[in-house]
A = this chain, B = another copy of it.
Amino acid sequence: MGSFQFRMGDEVSGLPRGPTVKKCVKLAPMHHATESGSVGPVVEQFADFHEPFSLASGQSLSGFTLAYETYGTLNADRSNAVLVCHALNASHHVAGTYAQGPVNLGWWDNMVGPGKPLDTREFFVLGVNNLGSCFGSTGPASLDPATGQPYGSHFPVVTVEDWVRAQALLADRLGIAQFAAVMGGSLGGMQALEWTIAFPERVRHAFVIASTPRLSAQNIAFNEVARRAILKDPDFHGGDYYAHQVVPSHGLSVARMIGHITYLSDDDMAQKFGRSLRDNGGGYRFGFEAEFEIENYLRHQGEKFSRYFDANTYLLITRALDYFDPSRTTGGDLARALEPARASFSVVSFTTDWRFPPERSREIVSALIQNGSAVNYAEIDAPHGHDAFLMSDPRYHAFVRENFKQLRAQI
């Protein structure tokens, strides 16, 4: 059987991936775009790496593919590249749409484009799909060259550090010695942080948004319950469900519902759904079907997610979240862990984010200040909880825009 393929918002399909494109294909610059236009139709690209790649776990991959996209033009001295790192359920498709197929807007299209806070008329933007994902880079649903079967349970556990080293190999391939900025929200912010530690000379600025230097016990707890729902789904088959032509959709759906609750603020949920009933005139139905609007919404989110996301990838990415903790090797001293960093920083948090609340960002800021790093910090009083980093709050976007303006002097 072929390898499963997943794409954001699409149904699961068994089709093999399209032909790989190994060299950087630059999109035409968009000089005529409006003040806040879109990068328009984009083409995903693939880079294959044939050298063995050692992982933090001690395991290795004999080779791998990274899916990526680029927007804007790399300038002559290759100084205007910005790497955008994705979080749990996103991909390299950061901005624009795909020409073929249904409209499929990039996950940060409100942030990245001509005239947008990360302006593709000035910067060359790179989005990379991480190892272990289900959106084109090598992951558990890919064929293991050693067996000709999907990796499934044999795909090694990957870490934020592994992802960053793989991204660096792609930067080498694209001829990018140093990024003007590495940028990410949530788990993406962890990657930005890791870049400044692992490759201090290769990143001039880091945007660490709605992130944390490490998960709390409560964060790990939510991940563990989500994983438990997947691992105990009888359709999981120990991770090798591909061979059984099934997916552990119920477990994955529950996992997504749990995650989704933690992305929204209590207040925002109250505003949007409150105690509204689907059948508002009808009163209670005295059963267990979805009768509150919030139930219906969550079920829908869970079911949709379970149709396009790979359960093994969910396990891997939540584990990478759990494991990330740069201060682990410095006895809990975050400042010491961040000492190698040479970058300047922009840190953003959102007041209603109870997943990674402002205290966590302030911890990063304090450590950086202690080290004498240059830091701009914004704490945005936005109502949307953790998901605020994906929204276009004007104060938030103005802050990011202003910080990118300051970086223009160096490109």
Contacts and interface: CB of A to CB of B under 8 A. Distances in A.
Overall SS of chain A's interface: helix
A295 B254 contact: no
A232 interface: yes
A349 to B, nearest CB: 15
A288 B319 contact: yes
A225 interface: yes
Which 5 A-B pairs rank lowest in CB-CB distance, beginning with the nearest?
A: A57-B286, A232-B250, A157-B286, A217-B269, A217-B273
Nearest to A157: B286
Q: Which of A295, A325, A354 has the most CB of B within 10 A?
A: A295
A238 to B, nearest CB: 11
Interface of A: 56-59, 156-157, 214-218, 220-222, 224-225, 227-229, 231-232, 234, 250, 253-254, 257-258, 261, 264, 266, 269-270, 272-275, 284, 286-288, 290, 292, 294-295, 298-299, 302, 315, 319, 322-323, 325, 354
A264 B290 CA distance: 27
This chain's copy number in the assembly: 2
Contacts of A222: 261
Contact of A227 (B218, B231, B288): B288
A272 B220 CA distance: 13
A153 to B, nearest CB: 10
Nearest to A327: B275
Contacts of A288: 227, 231, 315, 319
Contact of A216 (B157, B224, B270): B270
A221 B284 contact: no
A358 to B, nearest CB: 13
Contacts of A225: 254, 257-258, 261, 298
A285 to B, nearest CB: 9
Given A57-B286, A298-B225, A217 B272 contact: yes
Contacts of A275: 214-217, 220, 325
Nearest to A216: B270
B227 A229 contact: no
9 contacts: A217-B269, A221-B257, A221-B295, A224-B295, A225-B254, A228-B299, A229-B229, A232-B253, A254-B254
A338 to B, nearest CB: 18
Given A286-B156, A288-B315, A274 B224 contact: no
Given A156-B286, A220-B294, A253 B269 contact: no
B220 A295 contact: yes
Given A156-B286, A217-B272, 17 more contacts: A58-B286, A217-B273, A217-B274, A218-B270, A221-B261, A221-B269, A221-B298, A222-B261, A224-B257, A225-B254, A225-B257, A225-B258, A228-B253, A228-B254, A228-B299, A258-B258, A288-B315
A319 B214 CA distance: 36
A270 B57 contact: no
Contacts of A270: 216-218
Contacts of A299: 224, 228
Q: Which of A156, A157, A254 has the most CB of B within 10 A?
A: A254
Contacts of A295: 220-221, 224
A234 B319 CA distance: 26
Contact of A59 (B266, B286, B298, B315): B286
A234 B231 contact: no
Nearest to A289: B231
A234 B232 CA distance: 11
Nearest to A297: B221
